[in-house]
Chain A
């Protein structure tokens, strides 16, 4: 773990959540019966950061994301997403963040164009906004001229980029990525991270879960979760140099 200043999670314990951060989590806990999936975690993600949420499979990463995106309730704790209490009023903030999962949840029996149109409609984009974003996504995903192809016929790399495009079609301030590079070859993975850097450079906060340790080098802040608890959290001090 060279390059990371390990910080015990103590300092944030008991402090009030920070409304100016993109994400501010205090004592967030989720239990399934007697099993504690997420055990009182605390962390802050300042705006504009690439926050790496690392841990082995089954450590509680996806459960945390589900709580932070308002698709799952919490048993205890507080979570502010873009300054809003996502646990009690997820609908207030849902339009301001995006989400992309390892499954690339596109409708495979719809075309590229139809997938974009659907998500644009879900986020209430105006006709002009949609035209602009559509052009941007098609360029970014290298799908120009293939708008009318069924998504099922695209190969994995393209599908991944299209999924990123649909997840950001409403220009969110914050983007959750749950294992976004699973099952993708190393070249496509690098290409994908270039796209993420591009998003970050435009001020989008990225919350990325991964179990690839090498991907940690792409992040400027890291947290390690193991068996539901944070075991280390901190800034990558050497980030500026790379």
Chain B
């Protein structure tokens, strides 16, 4: 191996990168822009649901109940329709939840009876539906408790005093888990998009053939090719990670070294995957198609958006073959739980194995091109 030739290849690669200003700008600005845009979406918790209240009781109790819904962060009362208008409002998506207080509610309560309160949720958005109905039930339960307390009834009964405590992310804010995952996903896409074209472009133009006639060795070529992109990717990763942490105020509980090692390893696997795609493709279009083939499952199956635990048991093993799965576990563990290398050792070993296998395959693919 000759350091001189590797430096030369890197010099050439940097020059070429510099000649495509749009690509460079995309490489550095797009990820940040995307992080800022998408960060708000993935970080948004279900709140401020448009709510309609159908008050058929019109008593102090029904008004008090409506007020306790209005006081909550989760509901914004936007409509007071009649019962028959509910369907249309729900169909057009103007409201996603409706509270129906039937006539005679207060009368029933005064007689010590149980009075039903209708909670209608829009099931076409399952998250809104489950979260909305859950919070509505909680508000009604608190309303009951307050009413009993105000009437001086307190039951001195035995029971279970459960202290439910959320560890690591006590406010259950999505931002804390989603931003680290989003950082990894954005960096993966932009690295693979560039890397996937890197070698196949030279093959199409014939410069690859030319270079292998010279004394340049396959390993030198790969190192010279990968290093400039790795440097660019590292800068990109740092910027995106810092913007993510500071802009969105993601609390950082863990060790910097764990995050750095995890992101670094993941970056290597992304570069390696892009490189491999580029090596096995004959045209840039093929490379791009292969990339799509790999990227979509990465998003869907990695647990980034959809929890792996919610997938059917038969599909769960597929997620093991996706580097993003392991990177997200490392990042979430390190960011939120402050987990160290010991706790995340499986994830690190697997990612390391991915890197070794992928780069091994890349070297083999280059060699095979030479001897085929």
Contacts and interface: CB of A to CB of B under 8 A. Distances in A.
Interface of A: 32, 69-73, 91, 94-95, 99, 101, 103-110, 114, 118-119, 121-124, 150, 176
Given A109-B16, A121-B8, A101 B206 contact: yes
Given A105-B208, A121-B8, 12 more contacts: A71-B209, A71-B213, A94-B215, A99-B210, A103-B206, A107-B12, A107-B16, A108-B205, A109-B20, A122-B8, A122-B216, A123-B215
Q: Which 3 A-B pairs have the closest CB atoms?
A: A103-B206, A105-B210, A105-B206
A95 B215 contact: yes
B19 interface: yes
Contacts of A114: 12, 15
A228 B19 CA distance: 42
13 contacts: A71-B209, A72-B372, A73-B371, A91-B217, A101-B209, A105-B210, A107-B205, A108-B205, A110-B16, A118-B12, A122-B8, A122-B216, A123-B215
A94 B214 contact: yes
Contacts of A123: 214-215
A152 to B, nearest CB: 9
A72 B215 contact: no
Contacts of B205: 103, 105, 107-108
A72 B210 contact: no
A5 B188 CA distance: 63
B370 A71 contact: yes
A107 B8 contact: no
A91 B12 contact: no
A72 B4 contact: no
Contacts of B15: 109-110, 114
Considering residues B205, B215, B370, which has the most beta carbons from chain A within 10 angstroms of its beta carbon? Answer: B215
B370 A72 contact: yes
Interface string B1-37: 0001100100110011001100000000000000000
A73 B372 CA distance: 6
A71 B210 CA distance: 10
B212 interface: yes
A71 B212 CA distance: 6
Considering residues A99, A118, A122, A176, which has the most beta carbons from chain B within 10 angstroms of its beta carbon? Answer: A122
A88 to B, nearest CB: 12
Given A122-B5, A124-B4, A101 B210 contact: yes
Contacts of A107: 12, 16, 205, 207
Contacts of B5: 121-122
Interface of B: 4-5, 8, 11-12, 15-16, 19-20, 205-217, 370-372
B213 A69 contact: yes
Contacts of B211: 122
B170 to A, nearest CB: 53
A121 B12 CA distance: 11
Nearest to A69: B213
B81 to A, nearest CB: 63
A101 B370 CA distance: 16
A69 B370 CA distance: 11
Given A105-B205, A105-B209, A122 B214 contact: yes
B12 to A, nearest CB: 5
A150 B5 CA distance: 23
Contacts of A109: 15-16, 19-20
Nearest to B212: A71
A91 B212 CA distance: 10
A72 B205 CA distance: 19
A94 B213 contact: yes
Contact of A99 (B12, B20, B208, B213): B213
A91 B218 CA distance: 12
A215 B207 CA distance: 26
Given A72-B370, A91-B217, A110-B16, A118 B210 contact: no
Contacts of A108: 205
B23 to A, nearest CB: 11
